[in-house]
Amino acid sequence: MKPFSYAAPSSYPEASALLREHPLALPKAGGTDLMDLLKEGVVEPPRIVALGRIEPLEGNPNALPANMTLAGLSDPGLAERFPALAEAASEAATPQVRNQGTIGGNLAQAPRCAYLRTRHACLRLGDSECAAAAPEAFTRFHGVFPASGCRSGHSSSLAPALIVLGAQAVIQGPKGERSVAVEDLYRAPEAGALGDTILGYDELITRVDLEPTPLSRQSVYLEVRERQTFDFALVNLAAAATFKGEGEKRVIQDVRLAAGGIATSPRRLKRAEAALRGKALTDETLRAAGEAACAGAQPTAHNGHKLILLQRLIARALRQIAAGGKQK
Amino acid sequence: MSELRLGFPGNEKRVEAQSSGATPWDLDSKLAVVGKDHARQEAPLKVSGRAQYSYDVRFPNLIYARLLGSPHAHAKVTKLDLSKAKALKGVLYVEDLTRGGRIRYAGQAVAGLAAESEEILADALALVEVDYEVLPHAVSVEAALKEGAPKVRGRGGNAGRARIQGKKAAVNAAHASADLVVDATYRTQVQTHSCLETHGCVAKWDGDELTVWASTQGTFSVRRSLSRALGVKARQVRVISEHMGGGFGSKFGADLWDVFCCKAAKATQRPCRLMLNRAEEHLAGNRPDSIQRCKFSAKKDGTLLGAEVRALGTGGVGGGAGVFNPGIYSFQSTYSEQRDVNTHASRARAFRAPRHPQGVFALEGMLDELAEGLGIDPLALRLKNDPHPVRQAQWKRGAEAIGWSRRKASGSDEGPLKRGFGLAAARWKHNGRPGSAVLVRIGREGTVEVRNGAQDIGSGARTLLATLVAEELGLQPSQIEVHLGDTRDPNGPASGGSTTSPSLAPPARAAAYQVKRELLESAARALKVPTEQAQGWDLKGGKLTGAPQALSFAKVCALLTTDTIEATGKGDRAAFSLPRFTSEVAGCQFAEVEVDVELGTVRVIKVVAVQDCGTVVNALTARSQINGAVIQGVSYALFEERILDPGSGRQLNPGLLGYKILGSLDLPEIESIPMSVANGINPTGVSSLGEPPAVPTAGAIANAVANAIGARVRSLPITPDKVLAALAEQARAKKEQKK
C-alpha cells in the first residue's frame, strides 16, 4: 500500500475543499470496498478524506443522509413508503457490510469487474485495452450493454430502486450544493476514471431526497444471485406501477423500471415502460416489455442468461405489484 | 480364540477371531460411553477464541516472510535482482527461488523475503526486479490439447499416458445386448482447498533445535520433510499443531514457503512467521477438474450391463486428475480410460476423497439417466444393483428420512418453483493403519493423561481418544486429559485417507487396557491380595468391580506406590488383522431441492446423509463430521469454482467474494445419521469417517435438480446460467420431437 495522508473533516464543504487540494484524493465513507481497492493496489490515492465524522442530517424522514448505512434503511416506515428501497438495502451484501456501507458509497461504488479487480488491462485504470473484451474472456458477471468499450455491470443495489422512486441526489461541491435525479447521476465510463458518476473529483453526495407517492408505495425490488450469502446480483430490478380500471379493463397507468448488473451504470428501462403503459397486464404485454428492455443488448458467449433474467424479473415484478406487493 | 458377532441388527454374522489383550468390541459389547454424544473437549477454547492456532502464534521479536509470485503463467526468468529490496530498511533476509528460471503457473514463487513488519515486507516485494521472457500458456484441458499447444513440462504432449481398466470388447458386447444405452458427457470444475486457516507456519530456532508451529494435517510428515530440506536430524525438529483451522489434503508436508520461513528464522536468529494470504491460498492445492464421457447400458428390468468412461482432467502442473467412475454398482462389465492433462496452473493435491466426488457425480447422474429412460424409480435401480449389505439397509433408512415417496415424475410440479429429490452413494476403504502409538498415564491423584503426537484435523480426535480410554477405565470422557499435536509425543498418523481415528483407536484402547491391568495389580498388592485375583477385577462406572471392596477410581489410584504408571499401546499389524464384516465403508445421501425454473436458481432444502464408520465412538462429533462434509459438498455442487483467465492464466476470483463458498443463507437442513456397524477389523471396530460423506453430496443434488426441472445439468457447479441453458435445450428438443 502506498503511503497516503488521511483527513477526517466534520462537514461536507470542508470535505469538498480537502478533495479539491488533491485531484487524486478519494473520499471514504463506510470503506467496505475502498479498503480492498487500496490493499490490492487498484487505487493509490495520495489522500483519503474520511466522511465518518460528519454528523448525519436529522429531521426529514424523506431526506436520507448519504452517510446513513444500508442497515439504517431497514425502517418499517420507509418500507411502507418506499418498499423497493427497503428491500434493495436488505438484499445487499452481508449484515456486517450493511452495518458499515453507506447510501452514498453504494451509489458511487467502483465496478466489480473481475479483470479490473485483479489488475488486468483496464481502460478505466488508464490501460490502452480491456482484458474483458477478449473473445475468450470470462464474462458471466459482466453486463450486456457495453459503453465506451467497458463491459462492467453496475452492482449498486440501491440505485435501481432510487431511480424508480424518482429520488434526487444532493451534491456538495466547492461552490455549494446542487441536486440531480439519481437517474442522471451516472454517465458513460471515461478512460482513466474508475467511477461511473457525474461527480467532480471534489464533489460528494450528501443526501438523497425522496417523495412518497402512490407509485412509490407500489414498488418492488428483485434480484437474482448465484449465492444467497454475500454475492452481487447477476441482475437486479426495481419496478413501480399503478393500475387503473377494473377486471378485464384494468390497465397499467404509470410504471417505472430500472435494472442493475446489465450495463456500466444502473439503467432506466424506458422502452420497456412505454411497452407497458396503458396496457393490460398480459403475457403478450410482458413479452413486449421484456423484448424492449433487451433491445440493443450485446451479450457475450457467457452472459446471455442475463437477458433472460431481465425479462423474467420484469414479468415477475409487475405481477407481484398487481397482486399487491412483496411476496416471498 | 473368541467369537465375534459382526454386522448390524438385521444382518449379522458370527466369526472366529484370534485376539490377545482386550476383548474386541462387537454387537454383544455393552459400552457405557462409546457411541453417546460427548461435547468436544476443546469447544470452550474454540468458541471463546482462546484456542491457539498456528496462525495465532506470535513472539515479541517475530519477523515476517512472504514469497513473491510470478504474474505470468508461463515464462522464463531472465533476471532477478533482489538488491533494492534487500537495501530497504527493515528487510532482513532475501532468497532467489527461481531454480532454473522456468515459470509454469501464475503465482509460482520467484523469490522469498523476510522483514521486520508485514508493511515493510509489502514494500520490499514491490522493489524486487524480475525480467521475464513471457511464453504462451494453456490453462484449460481444451487449450492444452490443441495442436501446437505450448508444452507444460518435458517431452511429449500435455496429455499423459492413458490409465486403462477393463476390456473394451467386453463392454461393447454388454452394450450390444442392452435395451437402453445412454451416452453423455459430465464436467466438474477445479475446487481449491481454501482452508479457513491458510497454509504456513511460525519457525523458531534455539541453537540447532527448531520448533515449528505448523498449520498441518501431518505433524510427523512436516518434521520429516523439514529435516530433509534443512539437512538436520529429525530429533532436532519439533512440530506443534495444537488446533487446526482446516485441512483437506493439501497440508501434509513442509512446503516451499515453510522451508523458506525456517531458513529466514535461522539466518536472522529470530522467530519467523509465514502464513499465506487468501489469494496465495488458492495456489496451495486444488481438486482437479474432469471431463467424463460416459456410456452406460442396462436391461429393461434395470440390470446394469456396461459402463464405459473416458475421462480427462487437469491437476495443473501436477497429476491426480483421475475420477472414481465407474464403481460401486454391479455392472456386467466396465471399461475406463483416464488421462491427466498438464496445464499452466498450480498443482492439484489430495482433496477430501480424491477422485470420488467428481466421479460419483457422473456415475450417479448416469444411473439416473438410465432409470429415467427405463421408467424405473432411481432408488429401485440402486437396490437392484448395489452389492453392499450395509448400503442396502442405508438406502431404505435414508429414503424414509427424506420422504422419498414424495418424489414425483421429473419436472411435473406446477408453477415456477419445482421440488426434486435425488440420491447418490458413498464408498471408502477401512483405512486404519499400523504404526501409531498412544501413551496413557494414570496419576496417583486419579488423573488420566493420553498422549499422541498427531494433530486433530478437526474431527474431534481429542474427545475420541478420551472416550475410548474412558470406556476402558470405566470413567467419563471429561475425566481424561488428551494431548495431541506435538512430535515430542508418540508417533501418530498423518490425517489423510480418513486414517486418524481408525489408526489411533486400537493403540489407545490397548494402552488403556494395559495400564488398567497394571493399576489393578498394584491395587491388589496394596490390598495384600494375590495379584492373580486381580485378573477378575475391572473398572466400571468409576468403581473397582469384582474385588472385595468397591473402591472408587480415585481411591484405587491412591494405592499406587509411584506418582504415575503408564503404558504405550501399539497399533501393530496384529491389531488390524481381525476378520471384517465388509471390505468397504458404505454410505448414501438423499437431497431435496427447490429450483426456480424462471431464474435458474437452486436451493437445497434438505440433505439426509447415512454413513457407516464402524463403531461410532462419539455420536455428536460423528454427526458434526458428516455435517461438514455435506456442507462442503453443497458448496462444490452449487458454488465453488476456480476461474483462470484464458488470456493471462491468472485467477480471476482470488478472494472469497469471487471464489464462492457456501454461506449460512445457503445452508440446507442436514440430517446426519452415523450408522454403527460392528465391522471387526480391529479391537475397537472404529473405521474411516472424514472422507466418505464428502463423496455423494454433489451427485445427489444434481439428481434432485434433474428431477425437479425435468432437464439435466451435467456440469458443476450448477449455476443459474446452466440451469436456464439445460431448460432451453430441453424445450428446443421437445419442439424438434413434435416436428
Asked if residue A19 belongs to a domain, the reply is no
Backbone angles phi, psi at A269, to 5 degrees: -100, 70
The answer on B302 and B169 residing in a single domain is yes
Asked if residue B233 belongs to a domain, the reply is no
Q: Give the domain CATH number at B551.
A: 3.30.365.10
Asked if residue A309 belongs to a domain, the reply is yes
Q: Give the domain CATH number at A200.
A: 3.30.465.10
The answer on A95 and A188 residing in a single domain is yes
Asked if residue A328 has pLDDT above 50, the reply is no
Place of cell 455491470: A153
Give dist(CA B466, CA B587) in Å, integer. 26
Give the pLDDT mean for B87-96: 98
Give dist(CA B529, CA B222) in Å, integer. 49
B636 three-state secondary structure = helix
The answer on B447 and B568 residing in a single domain is yes
The answer on A235 and A195 residing in a single domain is no
The answer on A123 and A183 residing in a single domain is yes
On chain B, the residues whose CB falls within 8 A of the CB of A136 are 646-647
On chain B, the residues whose CB falls within 8 A of the CB of A303 are 721
A18 three-state secondary structure = helix
DSSP state of B590: E
The answer on A65 and A115 residing in a single domain is yes
* Contact yes or no for B663 and A227 at CB 8 A: yes
Here the cell at position B512 is 488403556
Average pLDDT along chain B: 97
Full domain range(s) for residue A294 = 214-322
B637-688 tens-digit pLDDT: 999 999 999 999 999 999 999 999 999 999 999 999 999 999 999 999 999 9
Report the greatest alpha carbon distance in chain B.
98
Asked if residue A296 belongs to a domain, the reply is yes
Residue that finishes a domain, picked among A177, A209, A241: A209
Asked if residue A25 belongs to a domain, the reply is no
Confidence class of residue B160 from pLDDT cuts 50, 70 and 90? Answer: very high
Query: Cα-Cα-Cα-Cα dihedral of B473, B479, B480, B481, to 10°?
Result: -160
Give the pLDDT mean for B445-471: 97
B673 three-state secondary structure = strand
The answer on A318 and A199 residing in a single domain is no
Give dist(CA B183, CA A69) in Å, integer. 54
The answer on B615 and B511 residing in a single domain is no
CA distance A226 to chain B (A): 6
This prediction has a pTM of 0.97
Asked if residue A168 has pLDDT above 60, the reply is yes
B291-330 tens-digit pLDDT: 999 999 999 999 999 999 999 999 999 999 999 999 999 9
The answer on A263 and A174 residing in a single domain is no
The answer on B346 and B299 residing in a single domain is yes
The answer on B399 and B487 residing in a single domain is no
Average pLDDT along chain A: 95
Give dist(CA B205, CA B173) in Å, integer. 66
The answer on A257 and A147 residing in a single domain is no
Give the pLDDT mean for A262-276: 98
Residue that finishes a domain, picked among B526, B544, B576: B576
Give dist(CA B275, CA B260) in Å, integer. 12
Q: Is the CB of residue B612 less than 8 Å from the CB of residue B6?
A: no
**Facing residues of B438 across strands?**
B569
Q: Give the domain CATH number at B80.
A: 3.90.1170.50
Asked if residue A315 belongs to a domain, the reply is yes
**Facing residues of A49 across strands?**
A7, A27
Residue that finishes a domain, picked among A147, A182, A209: A209
Residue that finishes a domain, picked among B102, B134, B156: B156
The answer on B663 and B572 residing in a single domain is no
CB proximity A137 to B under 8 Å: yes
* Contact yes or no for B600 and A316 at CB 8 A: no
Asked if residue A17 belongs to a domain, the reply is no
The answer on A253 and A142 residing in a single domain is no
Asked if residue A44 belongs to a domain, the reply is no
Q: Give the domain CATH number at A245.
A: 3.30.390.50
The answer on A253 and A158 residing in a single domain is no
CB proximity B721 to A under 8 Å: yes
Give dist(CA B739, CA B525) in Å, integer. 95
Asked if residue A327 has pLDDT above 70, the reply is no
Write out B313-371 in H/E/C secondary structure.
Answer: ECECCECCCCCCCCCCCCCCEEEEEEEEECCCCCCCCCCCCCCHHHHHHHHHHHHHHHH
Interface-testing mutation among A228, A236, A303, with chain B (most B C-beta atoms within 10 A): A228
Asked if residue B119 has pLDDT above 70, the reply is yes
Q: Is the CB of residue A281 less than 8 Å from the CB of residue A316?
A: no
Interchain CB contacts (distance < 8 Å): A and B: 82
The answer on A141 and A256 residing in a single domain is no
Full domain range(s) for residue B550 = 432-576
Give dist(CA A151, CA B266) in Å, integer. 50
The answer on B418 and B300 residing in a single domain is no
The answer on B437 and B426 residing in a single domain is no
Give dist(CA B87, CA B95) in Å, integer. 13
pLDDT score, position B101: 85
B568-588 tens-digit pLDDT: 999 989 889 999 999 999 999
The answer on B395 and B520 residing in a single domain is no
The answer on B423 and B494 residing in a single domain is no
On chain B, the residues whose CB falls within 8 A of the CB of A114 are 643, 652-653, 658
Number of independent structural domains in chain B = 4
Q: Is the CB of residue B32 less than 8 Å from the CB of residue B25?
A: no
DSSP state of A86: H
> Mind giving me the DSSP string for A190-233?
-TT----B---TT-EEEEEE----HHHHTEEEEEE-S-SSS---
The answer on B21 and B91 residing in a single domain is no
Give dist(CA B339, CA B311) in Å, integer. 6
The answer on B423 and B368 residing in a single domain is no
Here the cell at position B591 is 437431497
* Contact yes or no for B639 and A140 at CB 8 A: no
Asked if residue B544 belongs to a domain, the reply is yes
Reported ipTM exceeds the 0.95 cut: yes
Whether residue B717 has a cis bond before it, omega within 30° of 0: yes
H helix count then E strand count, chain A = 12, 11
Buried b (16+ CB within 10 A) or exposed e, A186-204: bbebeeeebbbbebeebbb
Which residues of chain B from 648 to 707 reach within 8 Å of chain A, CB to CB? 648, 650-655, 657-658, 660, 662-666
A1, A224, A228: residue with CB nearest B665: A228
A94, A118, A229: residue with CB nearest B652: A118
Give dist(CA B68, CA A237) in Å, integer. 43
Q: Is the CB of residue B70 less than 8 Å from the CB of residue B101?
A: no
Residue B736 CA to its chain's centroid (Å): 45
Report the greatest alpha carbon distance in chain A.
66
Residue that finishes a domain, picked among A172, A191, A209: A209
* Contact yes or no for A308 and B658 at CB 8 A: no
Asked if residue A124 belongs to a domain, the reply is yes
Residue that finishes a domain, picked among B156, B182, B213: B156
Q: Is the CB of residue A229 less than 8 Å from the CB of residue B666?
A: yes
DSSP state of B302: -
Give dist(CA B125, CA B84) in Å, integer. 10
The answer on A86 and A190 residing in a single domain is yes
Position B236, amino acid: Q
H-helix or E-strand spanning residue A308: helix A305-322
Best CA proximity match to A6, nearest among A23, A31, A24, A28: A28
On chain A, the residues whose CB falls within 8 A of the CB of B654 are 118
Q: Is the CB of residue B626 less than 8 Å from the CB of residue B691?
A: no
The answer on A184 and A93 residing in a single domain is yes
Give dist(CA B369, CA B385) in Å, integer. 15
Backbone angles phi, psi at A41, to 5 degrees: 75, 20
Q: Is the CB of residue A252 less than 8 Å from the CB of residue A281?
A: yes
A15-59 tens-digit pLDDT: 999 999 999 999 999 999 999 999 988 999 999 999 999 988 777
* Contact yes or no for B663 and A118 at CB 8 A: no
Number of independent structural domains in chain A = 2
